[in-house]
Amino acid sequence: MSELASLRAHVDFARRLTRVMDLRFNVLGIRFGIDPMLDVIPGLGNLLATLTSFYLFWIAAKLRVPTWVYFRMMWNITVDSVFGFIPYIGIVLDLFFRSNVKNFSLLEKYFDPDILVGEVL
């Protein structure tokens, strides 16, 4: 598999993962994913959600995004992780902050297969 095809596969998987983590369900007009549900498992749930967020960060590194994007992504991950350790507040934050959606939105702007052909290979 070529570098570009591999990167495309990672971005596609990250898109699906972001939807599952932050947007999968809709109850009373509130969209949410499994991220708030993971907070019910003390410590471990927040760790799993944070590792998922770092997968998006890893893809950003592969895309060689601008430095400000890394800082913004780290800010989103940090806010989600720190507040995720606080009972109930972490669940509410996950319902409305949606760090994975924010980070994928930042990341997606820099994935253009036509431009990347020369840069990634």
What's the gap between Cα 113 and its chain centre? 20
Mean pLDDT of the chain: 87
Q: Considering its fold, how many domains does the chain have in total?
A: 1
| pLDDT at site 70 | 96
Mean pLDDT of 66-94: 92
* Residue 46 to residue 38: CA distance in whole angstroms: 7
pLDDT (mean) for 38-53:
89
Structure tokens at 76: 């989103």
Query: What is the chain's alpha carbon radius of gyration, rounded to the nearest angstrom?
Result: 15
- Per-residue pLDDT tens over the stretch 12-25: 999 999 999 999 99
pLDDT attached to residue 35: 92
Considering only CA atoms, which of 5, 107, 22 is closest in space to residue 57? 107
Give residue 114's domain range. Answer: 3-120
67-74 mean pLDDT: 96
